Amino acid sequence: MFDRQGKILIGTVSVLFVVVMGVFFLELRELENLRIEPVDFMQIEDGLYTGEAHTLLLKARVNVSVKDHLITDVELIEYQHNRGEDAIGIIDDIINNNSLSVDAISGATQSSNLIKAAVSNALNQK
């Protein structure tokens, strides 16, 4: 039915498919397990806080500025994403609401949660 080259090609494609699907499911699991811890803003002193969150394929690193218990700025200093460029819009929502309890950006939910987790990690440093 298949010659030797055809069998090698089918085998190679099959192995590649299994590897890609494995990475995909690992990434989904890591994204589902991202923790966005609540922040007690009354306990946050003025200053600059750095935090990051990452998965196998995605990474967000932020500088968060706080003054008078309010987030005044979130600078995205490193951002590795697939198609989550629109998630950057969540930064304005976080600042305007002084909260991480904001809705994810439609179409960029996982990347939005990654940025929120990075901000949470910055502000919850012990």
Which of the pair, 102 or 108, is modelled with greater confidence? 102
Which of the pair, 48 or 125, is modelled with greater confidence? 48
Using an 8 Å Cβ cutoff, are 44 and 65 in contact?
no
27/57 Cα distance (integer angstroms): 7
Please give the pLDDT value at position 63.
98
Please give the pLDDT value at position 27.
67
Domains and CATH numbers, the chain: 41-123 (3.90.1010.20)
pTM (predicted TM-score): 0.79
What are phi and psi for residue 44, nearest 5 degrees?
Answer: -90, 120
Encode pLDDT of 13-54 as tens digits: 787 877 777 667 776 777 777 888 999 999 999 999 999 998
The lowest-confidence range among 11-20, 45-54, 56-65, 92-101 is 11-20
As a residue count, the chain comes to 126
Average pLDDT of the chain? 88
Burial of 58 (C-beta count, 10 Å sphere; 0-12/13-18/19+): buried
